[in-house]
Chain A
Amino acid sequence: MTTVNKTTIKLPGVDLQVLRKGSGPQVLLLHGDDGPEDRLPVFDRMADHYDVIQPVHPGFAGTAIPEHFDNLQDLVFLYMDLIDHLDLKDAILVGFSMGGWAAAEIAVMSTQRFSKLVLVDSVGIKPGGPFDRDIADVFALPPSEQTRITWHDPLMAPDPATMTDEELQLLAAQRVALGFYTWEPYMHNPKLPHRLHRINIPTQLIWGESDGIVSPQYGQALKNMIPGASMVVIPKAGHAPHVEQPEEFMKHFLDFAKS
C-alpha cells in the first residue's frame, strides 16, 4: 500500500496543504466538518483505483485560516486556483458535507475539468422558508444531541473523555473553521439554487438514511435542483455514510465513478 503524500502547494496568498494518494484517474476530494479523510479506510479504498487529491481546508488539521479569508467563497476561489495549478482533467469531484457545498460552488462556475460530481450528505442550499430548520443548528445543540443527529450508531462519535489534549484542541480548532466557513447564511448560499442548473456533468448524491443534520429529504431537494442527478440512500448511516458504512459507500461510489 502506498503512503499518503503530504505536500504544501504555494498558491496566490495561501500555502495549501494537500494530501495525495494512489494512481489512476484523478479524484478531487473535499472533506467535511470532521476534517481530512485520509485516516479512513475509504480513502485507501479510493486510492486503490484513483489518484486521490485532498486539499485541507485552511483552518482544519492544524492549518491556519488565511488573514484575507472571510467565508466559503474564499475557499472556492482557492480551489479554482488549485484546480488550474494541478491542471486537472476529467477529474471526479467529490465533496462531503460542507466540502460538498464547496464542490457544488465550484461546479456551477465551471465543470470543464471534471467528468463527474459526487455529493455526500452535502449542505449548501436552503429549500424551506425562513422559519424552517432545514439544516440542524449544530452550534446550538448539546453534545449528546449532536451525537444523536450526526451518527446512526452513537458509539461512532469521538469521545472527548478518551482524547488527548492535542486531539481535543485540533477538534476545537476545526469547529472554529467550520463556523468560519458556514456561519451566516448558515451552511448555505441563497444564490446556489439559481446556479445549480449550470451543472452539466453526471452527478450522484450519496446520503445516510439516518442523517439528522441534513435529512434524505433535504438531499432529494438538492438532487432535484441538479439536472439529471441521481441519489442513493445508505441505510444504517448518518451524516458520514463513508465512515459508518464504508463498504456500501464504496460500492455506490465505484458503481457511479466507473459507469
Chain B
Amino acid sequence: MRTWFFTENAYPNLPDADSYESIRVNLPNSHFDPDTGADLYHMYLDMWCAADEMGLDIMNNEHHQTATCMVPAAPILLGILARETKKARLLILGNPIANRKQPIRVAEEMALIDVLSRGRLECGFVRGVPYEVAPANAFPYRGSEKLWEAHDLIMKAWTHHDGPFNFEGRWFHARQVNIWPRPFQQPHPPVWITMGSANSADQVAQRGHTGAVFLAGYPNIRKIFDGYRQSYLENHGQDAPLDRLAYCAMIYVGENEKAAQEGANRLLWYMTSNKVATQFNNPPGYHSPSVAANIMRGTTSSSGLPLVPKLDEQMALGNVCAGTPEQVFQQIKSFWEYSGGFGNLLMMGQAGFMTFDETINSMKLFSEEVYPRLKELTASYDPGAMRELRTSTPDVQTVDIGSLATQFVR
C-alpha cells in the first residue's frame, strides 16, 4: 500500500456562507487577502514536505475560481515539490485535460516535472467537476470523448522520439509535435484517471492505467472496482495488479477518540463548505438528464457530496476514517477488504481551518502506527483469497444514499 498525502489547499477565511451565493465560480476575489494567501501556500507546501520526510507520497490537484482550492495550476506547485522533496512520488490528480485547450502544453509541463524530480511523477488526468465548466468555458457534453482524445495525444507526445508528428482530431489539433524535454520515466510516467462508475472504470482498465475513486464509500465502491478488475482481466488476460486501484478517503488519526473526532469534524469542512449555486452545479451536458432533473428539483447535490454531511454517517459510508491508530487501521482494513483491495490510499488529511500542527500530528500517527500495518496487509494480498473473502461478504445495505448517488469524479 502506498499512501498519498493530499490537501486541497483551501482558503477558508470567508464571511458567513449566508452572505454569498456560491463558494465556487462567482465568489468575488476581494475575499482573498494576498498576505493570508501567501502564508497558506507556504503552509501547504510545508505539509507536503513533511509528508515526504515521513515517508508518505504526495498528491495535489487543481480547481478554478474557488475558495475551496487555491490552486488553479497544480503543475506549478508540483514543480516546486519536485525540487523541494527528495523521495516522495508526486501525484497530480489531476490535469483537467477535457477542459484544457492545449494537450501538448500539458505533456510538456508533465515531462518537465518528471525530469526535474528525476522520475517521481505520477500523472493523473481528470474530467473535472461540474463547477469547472464555467471557468474553463468548456461545454461538458462528450467530455469523456474529449478527455480520451487529449490523453491519446499526450501519450504519443511523451513516447514519440523520432521527430515531429501532426495530430488532427475531433477536438484537438497540433502541428509539428516534438516535445522538449521528454519524460524521465520510460516509456512514460504512470498514468492515473479518476473513475466514478463501472463504465468509466472499464475505459481506464482497458488502457491499464491506475483508476482512482474519490469518496464513493461502501455503497458504490464495489461496482466501480469490480468493473475495473473485470475489464482488466478481459483486456490483459491477468488479474489487475493491486497498485492499479486507488481510493481517496478523508483521514484523521488522533491520540485518543476525542482528539480524533475533533480533528475529523474540522476535516469535514471540505464537505460542509461546498456551497455551490445550482447554475454552476448543473451545467448543461455534464450530468445525465435524470440526474440534472433531480438537481433542478433540488433533491440531489450534484457534486456527489452530501447536502448536510454528518461525521458518523460519513464514517459509516467509508468516506471518513477517524479515530485512534488502531481504529483507523481497522476502518481502512474493513473498507479495503470489502472493496476487494486497492494498492493506493489517497489520504485527504487536511481541510478548511486545520492548522499545520494538528495536520502533522495526524500524519505522524498515521505514518508511524497505521501505515506499517497497512503495508503488511497489502503485502499479504492474494487475488484468489481476496475473491473468496469478497464473495463471502454480502453487499452492505446502507442508509439513504440519495445524496451520494451522483457520479463523483473530481
Query: Which residues of A line the B interface, CB within 8 A?
Result: 65, 139-143, 146, 160-161, 165, 168-173, 175-176, 178-180, 183-184
Contact = CB atoms under 8 A, between A and B. Distances in A.
A120 to B, nearest CB: 22
Size class of the B contact interface (CB-based, 8 Å): 20 to 34
Contacts of A179: 139, 141, 283-285
Nearest to B170: A70
Given A141-B279, A179-B139, A180-B139, A169 B284 contact: no
Contact of B21 (A142, A169, A175): A142
A70 to B, nearest CB: 8
B284 A140 contact: no
Contacts of A160: 296-298
A173 B134 CA distance: 19
Given A172-B289, A180-B285, 11 more contacts: A139-B134, A139-B284, A140-B26, A140-B134, A140-B279, A141-B279, A146-B279, A160-B296, A168-B296, A171-B293, A180-B139
Interface in B287-339: 287, 289-290, 292-293, 296-298
A139 B293 contact: no
Contacts of B271: none
Nearest to A143: B278
B106 interface: no
A201 B26 CA distance: 45
Most buried by B among A141, A160, A169, A172: A172
Closest 8 CB pairs of A and B: A179-B284, A172-B292, A168-B293, A175-B284, A183-B139, A172-B289, A173-B289, A169-B289
B243 to A, nearest CB: 36
Contacts of B279: 139-143, 146
Nearest to A67: B142
Contact of B284 (A141, A161, A178): A178
B249 to A, nearest CB: 31
B84 to A, nearest CB: 38
A54 B193 CA distance: 44
B289 to A, nearest CB: 4
B332 to A, nearest CB: 38
Q: Which of B26, B134, B284, B289 has the most CB of A within 10 A?
A: B284
| Chain B interface, DSSP helix/strand/loop, else mixed | loop
B289 A176 contact: yes
Q: Which of B21, B293, B298 has the most CB of A within 10 A?
A: B293
B278 A169 contact: no
B278 A142 contact: yes
B50 interface: no
Given A140-B279, A184-B137, A184-B139, A176 B296 contact: no
Contacts of A183: 139
A127 B266 CA distance: 50
Contact of B283 (A139, A169, A173, A184): A139
B293 A169 contact: yes
Nearest to A165: B293
A169 B290 contact: yes
Nearest to B296: A160
A176 B297 contact: no
Nearest to A144: B278
Nearest to A167: B293
B264 to A, nearest CB: 33
Residue with the greatest number of chain B CB neighbours at <10 A, chosen from A146, A171, A176: A176
25 contacts: A139-B279, A140-B25, A142-B278, A143-B278, A143-B279, A160-B297, A168-B296, A168-B297, A169-B290, A169-B293, A172-B289, A172-B290, A172-B292, A172-B293, A172-B296, A176-B284, A176-B292, A178-B284, A179-B284, A180-B139, A180-B141, A180-B284, A180-B285, A183-B139, A184-B139
Interface in B122-151: 134, 137, 139, 141
A222 to B, nearest CB: 24
B277 interface: yes
Nearest to B137: A184
Contact of A142 (B139, B277, B293): B277
A168 B293 CA distance: 5
A173 B289 CA distance: 5
Nearest to A164: B293
Contacts of A142: 21, 277-279
Contacts of B296: 143, 160, 168, 171-172
Contacts of B293: 165, 168-169, 171-172
B170 to A, nearest CB: 8
